[in-house]
Amino acid sequence: MNDAGSDPSSPDSGSCGCSDDHGNHVHESHDGGQRGESENGDIVADGAGNRDVVRLSVPDMDCPSCAGKVETSVRKLDGIDAIDPQVTTGTLTVEFDATETDAAAVENRVEKAGYAVEDDSSEVTLSVPDMDCASCAGKIENALDGVSGLRTYDTRPTTGTVVVTTDPSASVSDVTAAIETAGYDVVGTSADETDGGSLDSESVWRSSRALKTWTSGVFVALGLLFEFLLVGQNATVVGAGGLLSAGTIEITIADVAFLLAVLVGGQAIVTNGYYSLRNRNLDIDLLMSVAILGALAVSVGFGRSLYLEAATLAFLFSVAELLERYSMDKARNSLQELMDLSPDEATVKRDGEEETIPVDAVTVGDVVVVRPGEKIPMDGTVADGESAVNQAPITGESVPVDKTTGDEVFAGTINEGGYLEVEVTSDASDNTLSRIIDMVEEAQGNKTEREQFVERFAAYYTPVVLAFAVLVAVVPPLFFAEPWVTWFVYGLTLVVLSCPCAFVISTPVTVVSGITSAAKNGVLIKGGNHLEAMGDVEAVAFDKTGTLTKGELTVTDVIPLNGNTEEDVLRCAHGLESRSEHPIGEAIVAEADGANVTKHEIDDFESLTGKGVRADLSGTTHYAGKPGLFESLGFELNHVHATDGGVAAAATTRDLCERNDCLDLLEDAVPSLQSEGKTVVLVGTEDELEGAIAVADEVRDDAKAAVQRLRDLGIDHLVMLTGDNERTAKAIAEQVGVDEYRAGLLPEEKVEAIEELDSNVDGTAMVGDGINDAPALATATVGVAMGAAGTDTALETADIALMADDLSKLPYVYDLAHDANGVIRQNVWTSLAAKAALAVAVPFGLVPIWAAVLVGDAGMTTAVTGNAMRLSRIRPENLRE
């Protein structure tokens, strides 16, 4: 989550409300103007109209002549008010009219003068676990606005972190100090390599805040005991005249207990309210402080006893805060579980000896030892050993994958059985698991449309409800002679209900739950906006090769002819294709090797371009190639004899002569195989046709089931896009059950097909390998890449990455996203409806103040969080046949 639900149009929001296209907060400068960011520089507004200032680092500008050249170039822009090149520091400060130019244009003019603009900023993540709601984030944002040298910040209540980008003039200690002035402790930063502390939801109930809350609760119970049960013993302790009225102040034993409850339980609330007021942030802490102090003020000033109400507010709101923190920690723990996948230490072989060191000290090229049951600490390749590796933490695969020398392994996966030595191929900060965690954290910054709507709505909600509270508290007593105390309490109840926390947090907590749940099941969703979009798509387009098919040619059929056996056909085909570099030849060789056929001696190999190959096998000339090659050799392909029991013989033989094992290759067998998307290779000598071999890129085992599952989930338009020929495309399309296919497409034609498809439906997902299909993936509403675990390009290109080469994850991610959208709608509208119903009921005396706290605040916050966590129950189905 980025900003705290503020809107620039709301004077009470306490935040600038500026954001980029992704919802990332662009903060204000300390003088009240806006501060944003160019690609490599810092922008500061001077607070006067539309004049902005950009500061750029230009290290090569190190002499007056250089400065003059840069200044002359920048002066060519319209709207430039002032230029200050500092050659001693290599910095350039430009003041300009934002209506006529921008920071990017200034940077471009500097580069046109021949000087590079360097990005000298640094990014630091600070762990602020007590920042667990939108109002907390808003308070911190206001405090950060006054930090000099701070370029951008991103507050994320759902993870309890603040990500800041600073220039060299700012220090982490300045940022930390600013956050702490807002009333929040910074428990760790990425700069000092702390982990920010583990998230222990149970510790919430043992914290100092919890102890004060329980003590406050004891005093409330004691006060209630004397107030309603031990009435005779509830003696008056203090009796005096009211400070502002003729009424008498009587403080009983019960009132003393209530005051002690306020003193203990309300301390943290009023302290936070002070920080809110100091940072000009109208949030729940400030509102509750006003309510509690208001109740006490009426009690002392007018002699009207509202000590019970003040104590109830202090105690119940503290309970509400604990519940909110507990619920938020539950959501945060889902991400912490990802972080905990990687071990902290690794056993490394150096100079022939084993040494256990922190994973951060392991370097590329080191060999780590992984024993049975241990987690693999780093990405790498197996240098020695064999084992089954559980890759579920990364790819979501339910079955362990066999690994042997040369195979790739990932950090965080588990060595199930054997001993492995792994040569490290990437640093700890750059391995697959680290990139996944980074992307999941960054994904929370990409706000959904619904989240942005809720934040805009929240900016108006609080002022409107507060205005209503004032009217309720004042109008009835003034104009209708109603009792002041009663209606003042009603006003306080509405003040409690004016906080929008429950529905502001309802969307981001759902996004976090959905994204982290997907990551634990081998699906990387790179933003809440992509999660939302995936749940709303109406069409899915598939690439064929490597997506619906396995992406590798394999032998599917071997048809021996004229008395030869399958082994005879494969042996001759192996000899002919062993020197071929064609993928079909490689598939045939692999099949023959798998069958352990004996080998021929090969001489005089020759490639017959466009037809096939020729070679002498053990002294006899053999051919392998297209049917046309054998027609040119004089063979009668419409009348050959299949070997008894040969593959496909029974289905394709005809009575062409006195024998009943005749085949018409040209009219029956070959067309039949080709209609299934297979390529047919004939094998024989100059005198005899020995057999036929069919090769194909086989359809994935789960492709048909995945397509059907998507259709069952409500996707009505399923399309296959391929550059393959019409015949093969038609065959694959029929096998997997898509509604439409388009063949012979170039990459740019796939883009056009996506654009056309998207114009006819409301949202399209494109599924491919993330590399060759990058343009089409980028064009679609959502781009989904398969098998991305070992592919940096796919991880970077796709909006959603299926880490395993498993098509069955596609229906899962659609189901998850669709349900997430439903949960967001439920959370937003239920919380809004509950707040509205309570607010309307307050003037009728139907909502006691404790109900406003427990139901309207704590209850709704806990409910929306619990509802969001239901997404973790959705699991991928095994669709493999």
Q: Which residues are catalytic?
A: 543
Query: Under 8 Å CB-to-CB from 174, ≥6 apart: which residues?
Result: 147, 148, 149, 150
Take residue 394 and report the two structure tokens written for it.
Answer: 């990364």
The secondary structure element, H or E, covering residue 778 is helix 774-779
3-state helix, strand, coil in the chain (%, to 5): 45, 20, 30
The secondary structure element, H or E, covering residue 599 is none
Q: CA angle, 449 as apex, 448 and 450 as ends, to 5°?
A: 90
Cα 323 from Cα 862, distance rounded (Å): 7
List strands edge to edge, sheet with 414-415: 401-403, 387-390, 414-415
The secondary structure element, H or E, covering residue 95 is strand 91-97
Q: What counts of helices (H) and strands (E) characterise the chain?
A: 28, 36
The residue among 815, 773, 761, 817 whose CA lies nearest residue 527 is: 817
- Structural contact between residues 816 and 868, judged by C-beta atoms closer than 8 angstroms: no
The residue among 172, 179, 121, 125 whose CA lies nearest residue 151 is: 121
Cα 190 from Cα 167, distance rounded (Å): 16
Beta strands in 585-743 (DSSP E): 602-608, 612-617, 620-625, 640-641, 653-654, 662-663, 679-685, 689-699, 717-721, 740-742
How far is residue 546 CA from its own chain's centroid?
24
Query: Under 8 Å CB-to-CB from 639, ≥6 apart: which residues?
Result: 656, 657, 662, 663, 664
- Structural contact between residues 503 and 302, judged by C-beta atoms closer than 8 angstroms: no
- Structural contact between residues 548 and 699, judged by C-beta atoms closer than 8 angstroms: yes
Cα 559 from Cα 641, distance rounded (Å): 10
- Structural contact between residues 708 and 737, judged by C-beta atoms closer than 8 angstroms: yes
User: Residue 426: beta bridge partners?
Assistant: none
Residue 354: count of CB within 10 angstroms of its CB: 11
Cα 495 from Cα 492, distance rounded (Å): 5
Query: Under 8 Å CB-to-CB from 18, ≥6 apart: which residues?
Result: 8, 25, 26, 27, 28, 34, 36
Q: Which residue is it, tokens 């965080």?
A: 412
Cα 12 from Cα 23, distance rounded (Å): 20
Q: Which residue is it, tokens 């639900």?
A: 5
Query: Under 8 Å CB-to-CB from 89, ≥6 apart: which residues?
Result: none
Take residue 601 and report the two structure tokens written for it.
Answer: 């001696």
The residue among 255, 266, 322 whose CA lies nearest residue 289 is: 266
Take residue 799 and report the two structure tokens written for it.
Answer: 């909006």
Query: Under 8 Å CB-to-CB from 719, ≥6 apart: which residues?
Result: 539, 540, 541, 542, 738, 739, 740, 741, 742, 753, 757
Cα 811 from Cα 29, distance rounded (Å): 46
Pairing of strands 640-641, 662-663: antiparallel
Q: For 10, which DSSP code? A: -
Helix crossing, 253-265 with 267-278: angle to 10°? 50
Q: Which residue is it, tokens 């494969």?
A: 570
Instruction: Name residue 717's amino acid.
Output: H
